[in-house]
């Protein structure tokens, strides 16, 4: 299933109307089911709206971020199936070789309006087996931060085609693009990125810079901390809870990225000394 589809539109510009073809980001539901070693039938976990095309990495990243698995080796297979055993692009069955937390005992954060206590959420993160945060870097310069900011959209092909997707990108400390994932949902984009990196090159996470489109919410900061990513850049502003998470786990958090400016909310020690102002 492709991540985009063609659509007929009438483009209105400066009083003129033109009939032409445009492209839309595809949004489809994905049912995720889990099957443990003692189960004869998979158990539905949840349905999410996503952009298809990278479902396996999306599921790998989501299960890790939520603490359902602690390592990728706990997953035996990930396959598209429906209830009759036929291939279904919108249903993934994940087979696990170790016991996982029963679905009935899991508590997922639905969205930013759920009104749950911030302290409880941070305690939940502490209980997870997080990857260790790098205490020795990486160190980045202002020129790298601005370089990443100014070229980010050119590295997001689905957004360039449709204008309707979010992105999560991973960079090295010198600004080299490692990987980028896109989705109609910003949390999905980050889950895809984490799932891909944990599967292929997990050692890169401890030295990487994460860039997310839009604002830095609790959910995105939580996923970054869980993966042990030491630096998070956001095009928009962070929420108060995202800042608290950055402070608690000493993750460098930078937001309000523009072509020539940005705000450091925590972790300025990872910025190279010559780039830091005297702060009083």
Residues 105 and 103: their CA atoms lie apart, in Å, by: 5
In the CATH scheme, what is the code of domain 142-275? 3.40.140.10
Residues 8 and 11: their CA atoms lie apart, in Å, by: 10
Mean pLDDT for the stretch of residues 109-136: 65
Residue with tokens 């109307």: 17
Mean pLDDT for the stretch of residues 254-260: 91
Mean pLDDT for the stretch of residues 164-185: 96
Residue 180 has pLDDT above 60, yes or no: yes
- Report the pLDDT value the prediction gives residue 114, as an integer from 0 to 100: 38
User: For all residues of the chain together, what is the average pLDDT?
Assistant: 87
Residues 143 and 272: their CA atoms lie apart, in Å, by: 10
What's the token pair of residue 223?
A: 């996923």
DSSP state of 133: P
Other C-beta atoms lying within 10 Å of the C-beta of residue 63: 24
Residue 63 to residues 31, 33, 121, Cα–Cα distance (Å): 13, 11, 17
Bridge partners (DSSP) of residue 271 are 140
Mean pLDDT for the stretch of residues 74-91: 82
Residue 273 has pLDDT above 80, yes or no: no
pLDDT above 70 coverage of the chain, percent:
87
- Report the pLDDT value the prediction gives residue 116, as an integer from 0 to 100: 41
Q: Which residues of 70-101 are buried (b: 16+ CB within 10 A; e: fewer)?
A: eeeebbeebebeeeeeeebeebbbbbbeeebe
pLDDT for 195-253, tens place per residue?
999 999 999 999 999 999 999 998 999 999 999 999 999 999 999 889 999 999 999 99
**Residue 100 — pLDDT band, cuts 50, 70, 90?**
low
pLDDT above 90 coverage of the chain, percent:
67
- Report the pLDDT value the prediction gives residue 279, as an integer from 0 to 100: 52
Is-catalytic flag, 12? no
**Residue 115 — pLDDT band, cuts 50, 70, 90?**
very low
Higher pLDDT, 108 or 188: 188
Indicate whether this model's pTM tops 0.95. Answer: no
Residue 278 has pLDDT above 70, yes or no: no
Residues 156 and 123: their CA atoms lie apart, in Å, by: 34
Query: Annotated catalytic residue: which of 12, 114, 117, 181?
Result: 114
């Amino acid at each position: 299933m492709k991540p985009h589809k063609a659509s007929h539109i009438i483009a209105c510009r400066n009083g003129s109307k033109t009939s032409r073809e445009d492209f839309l980001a595809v949004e489809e539901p994905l049912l995720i089911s889990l099957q443990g070693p003692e189960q004869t039938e998979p158990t539905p976990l949840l349905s999410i709206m996503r952009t298809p095309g990278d479902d396996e990495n999306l599921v790998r990243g989501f299960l890790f971020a939520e603490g359902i698995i602690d390592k990728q080796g706990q997953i035996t297979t990930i396959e598209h199936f429906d209830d009759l055993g036929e291939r279904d692009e919108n249903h993934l069955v994940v087979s696990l070789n170790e016991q996982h937390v029963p679905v009935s005992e899991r508590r997922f954060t639905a969205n930013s309006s759920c009104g749950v206590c911030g302290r409880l959420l941070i305690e939940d993160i502490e209980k997870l087996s997080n990857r260790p945060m790098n205490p020795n870097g990486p160190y980045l310069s202002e020129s790298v931060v601005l370089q990443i900011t100014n070229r980010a959209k050119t590295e997001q092909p689905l957004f360039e085609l449709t204008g309707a997707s979010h992105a999560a990108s991973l960079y090295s400390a010198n600004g080299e693009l490692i990987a980028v994932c896109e989705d109609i949902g910003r949390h999905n984009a980050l889950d895809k990125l984490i799932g891909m990196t944990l599967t292929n090159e997990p050692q890169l996470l401890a030295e990487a810079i994460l860039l997310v489109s839009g604002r830095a919410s609790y959910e995105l900061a939580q996923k970054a901390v869980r993966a042990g990513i030491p630096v998070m850049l956001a095009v928009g502003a962070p929420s108060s809870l995202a800042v608290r998470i950055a402070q608690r786990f000493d993750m460098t958090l930078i937001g309000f990225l523009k072509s020539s400016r940005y705000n450091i909310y925590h972790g300025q020690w990872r910025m190279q000394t010559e780039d830091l102002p005297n702060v009083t």
